[in-house]
Amino acid sequence: MIWLVMIAAGLFTFATRFIMLSNIISNRPPPWLVDALGFVPIAVLTAIIVPAVLIDPASQKIALGDNPRLFAAILAIVTALVTRQVITTIGVGLAALWLLQWAL
Partner 1 sequence: MAETSGKFLAPPKALTARAEFWAGVRDETPLMFGVIPFGLVFGVLGVESGLSSLQTILLSSILFGGASQVVFAQLWAAGVPAFIVGGSVCVINMRHLLYSASMAIYLRPLSLRWRILLGYLLTDEAFAVSIRRFQHETPGPFQHFHLLGSGLLLWVGWQISTVFGVVVGETIPESWSLSFAIPLTFIAVVAPILKSRADLAAAVTAGSLAVIGQPLPWNSWLLLAAIGGILAGWLVHHFNQPAGGAA
Contacting positions for partner 1 (CB under 8 A): 1-10, 12-14, 16-22, 28-29, 31-55, 60, 62, 69, 72-73, 76-77, 79-81, 84-87, 89-90, 93-94, 97-98, 101
Asked if 89 and 78 touch (Cβ cutoff 8 Å), the reply is no
Minimum CB distance to partner 1, residue 24 (Å): 11
The residue type at 43: A
**Cα 17 from Cα 39, distance rounded (Å):** 17
Minimum CB distance to partner 1, residue 75 (Å): 10
